[in-house]
Amino acid sequence: MKLTKSISVAIFILSISTALAQQLPQFTQYMFNTISINPAYAGSRDTFSAVGLHRSQWVGLEGGPETQTLSVHAPLRNDKIGIGLSFINDKLGYENFSYIYGDFSYTIQTGLNSKLAFGVKAGFTHYNLDQELLNDPSVINDPFFNDVSNRWSPNVGAGLYWHSQRWYVGLSAPRILNTDYNNGGSGSIDYVALERISYYVTGGYVFDLSATTKLKPSVLLKATNGAPLSFDISANFLFNDTFWIGGGYRINESAAAIGGIADFQVSKQLRIGYAYEYPISDIRAYTSGTHEVLLMFEVFKSRRIKSPRYF
């Protein structure tokens, strides 16, 4: 156990010494959790919407990431303004990130059936290290670790979301400000930034295959300065506007994964979803895969909702 702990500490120190950019958590069911990366999505479902998600990544690998998210958003009375609130708790090994951000959107009509929303996001990111690491003999006398731990940092984001009942395109940068780990101080380890700006491009379309079956492909492209480009593509079939099933593929410079998704509309208000993801990179020998569970609850008003919402 002590050997395993020492290896974990060594890996952690090595990872921060390379000054890789911290990124927002990734999700297999990103198409149902859009507000976490794009504030312009706030209010786009024309009703109060609450989404909770739990992700256990690389199960079986000690220190594998675990993430929980909770977001709520809704349009205001005039339907042009949307507001939202998002919370993300992300744990990676000895590192812990908490994000709490408010969202605001303004929507204009761009056609008979299409709308364009402009969004802004503002809030705080909290970063801290586990006490177990801070008490480890190999780092306990290093002032760097205590300097970077337990810190709140403000940040802002922006986004665009153009959509109709059948398609959507999004562009966003949910964290625009860089956050310096060292805060102008000096430490024995040179870690450049806690957060760096990331750009997200999303899109999707719904095709009618028959009177009861639809197909919805979707894509997500993520670019972060100092990190590999990441590309997600997925395709889901919808049966009787009730049951989604499909799969996805993610690839970046250093890793790749395939996954399956199943979502069930239990009632008009409640949806549950499950996703499984399996790495097809070198890490696959050490993990049984990734599990993700999603719950969505919505309160509908008949005057707002005229057709099923596909995204």
- What are the pLDDT digits (tens) for 208-238? 999 999 999 999 999 987 777 899 999 999 9
Dist CA 228 CA 243 (whole Å): 34
The answer to which of 60-69, 188-197, 220-229, 244-253 has the lowest mean pLDDT is 188-197
For the segment 127-151, the average pLDDT, to the nearest whole number, is 70
What is the pLDDT at residue 31? 87
Longest distance between any two alpha carbons in the chain, whole Å: 67
The answer to which of 100-114, 120-134, 205-219, 297-311 has the lowest mean pLDDT is 297-311
What is the pLDDT at residue 1? 43
For the segment 30-49, the average pLDDT, to the nearest whole number, is 92
Q: What is the identity of the amino acid at 206?
A: V
| Stated pTM of the model | 0.86
The separation between the first and the last C-alpha atoms of the chain, rounded to the nearest angstrom, is 45
Computed on alpha carbons and rounded to an integer, the radius of gyration of the chain in Å comes to: 20
What is the pLDDT at residue 136? 72
The answer to which of 29-38, 97-106, 159-168, 251-260 has the lowest mean pLDDT is 251-260
What is the pLDDT at residue 9? 46
Dist CA 134 CA 284 (whole Å): 30
- Structure-block tokens of residue 102: 């408010």
For the segment 48-69, the average pLDDT, to the nearest whole number, is 92
What is the pLDDT at residue 302? 53
> Is pLDDT at 166 greater than 90 in this prediction?
yes
For the segment 175-189, the average pLDDT, to the nearest whole number, is 61
Q: Encode 261-272: b = buried (16+ Cβ within 10 Å), e = exposed.
A: bebebeeeeebe
> Is pLDDT at 40 greater than 50 in this prediction?
yes
What is the pLDDT at residue 142? 67
What is the pLDDT at residue 13? 45
More confident residue, 143 or 271: 271
What is the pLDDT at residue 254? 65
Q: Which of 57-71, 163-177, 224-238 has the highest mean pLDDT?
A: 163-177
Write the pLDDT tens digit of every residue in 236-290: 999 999 999 999 999 876 678 999 999 999 998 999 999 999 999 888 888 899 9
